[in-house]
Amino acid sequence: MVSELRRSYSTAGFVCPEVRESGTRIGFKVIDLMSGYEGWLAISIDKLGSCRGPRIGKYCVLENEVERVMARTRASLPTASIIAIDEIGPMELNIKSSKEVIDLAISMDKPGIFVVHYRLASEIASRLKGSGVSYKLYMVDPVNRDKLYNEILSLALRIVSEYKQI
């Protein structure tokens, strides 16, 4: 969905894809959407051998790398037509720099698509409601994922188009 948005609009935010080796998840990258700059969000302690930074579950967070990516994301938010973050999860909210960017993105008067971990849906919905922005919450699961993709993308493209005309 983010790649579709980026074809037509300046898109800021970040994504956190999982990284696998031989079919096993070893960690997560964090990638700034505007610049493409990336770093490690977290690597499994099994892969690293030891953890010098914060630990979340079986992962060691690489705060310095996250901070470098978040500095670029923070700088790109004001110039974007739309903000996209995938994902707002427990790990992202436990890292100071990414939590600050998430809070800033939610508070901005810009269209956004935020993929939120299901356990945090109520908390993020409350933050959005408190910021005064209108939002629509979808619960995506393996059964409805394909159907909702086009619906959410169409809505996002329409909102960005209307927003840019204001």
Number of domains in the chain: 1
Instruction: Look at residue 150 and tell me whether its pLDDT is greater than 60.
Output: yes
Domain containing residue 58: 2-165
What CATH number has the domain bearing residue 61? 3.40.50.300
Instruction: Give me the residues paired with residue 32 across strands.
Output: 14
**122-139 tens-digit pLDDT:** 998 888 888 777 788 888
Please give the Cα distance from 152 to 149 (Å, whole number).
5
pLDDT in tens, 36-59: 999 999 999 999 999 988 999 999
| Residue 39 near residue 116 (C-beta atoms within 8 A) | no
Exposed, middle or buried: residue 49 (CB in 10 Å: 0-12, 13-18, 19+)? Answer: exposed
Distance CA 155, CA 166 (A): 17
d(CA 15, CA 51): 23
Q: Global pTM?
A: 0.91
Q: Is the pLDDT of residue 1 over 90?
A: no
